[in-house]
Copies of this chain bind each other. A is one copy, B any other.
């Protein structure tokens, strides 16, 4: 192990701070810190300042709770987006992933996670009440549940469907099945099984 014997306390502290990030081990942290030392000091300042500025000045859209520079995010403020459809995602990465497909023109609702009792995340830790509020007070016609296809995601889907029961809104979820370009023999059994059970008429396939 390369843990002990740092020749400098300053170096050790920087490596320790870097290694707190997920997926960054102490060896990678050392490599990154030594890289910064080799570059111009401006690069380190720029990195450090951008992180502090983001952390201190970050705002969240008061409607969809996405990260934003303004009180209302660009998507929610855009009158050309279809306000009758709300896509529920776990986090901002979900928003970015779906935006990049170019296939969705409605608005989003960022939950901030999924219900996970193991991790101590209950419904009250997520933006669930504000979702119900939003659906109730606006003429929302469809809520698309775009959470991870995991047990926690399914639990959250179920919770949301119960909360929205009785409201005149259609609930849908992302289609599950084979990836485009997937080889049949490498698909896992659960996905393959589900895609047989939920097979669609040939005309329904779009690329």
Contact = CB atoms under 8 A, between A and B. Distances in A.
Copies in the complex: 2
Interface residues of A, number: 62
A21 B8 contact: no
A159 interface: no
A99 B84 CA distance: 65
B48 A51 contact: yes
A67 interface: yes
B54 A13 contact: yes
- Return the 8 tightest CB-CB contacts between A and B, nearest first: A48-B48, A44-B55, A17-B47, A14-B54, A14-B50, A10-B54, A17-B50, A5-B99
Interface of A: 1-2, 4-11, 13-14, 16-18, 20-24, 28, 30-37, 41, 43-59, 66-69, 73-75, 91-93, 95-97, 99-100
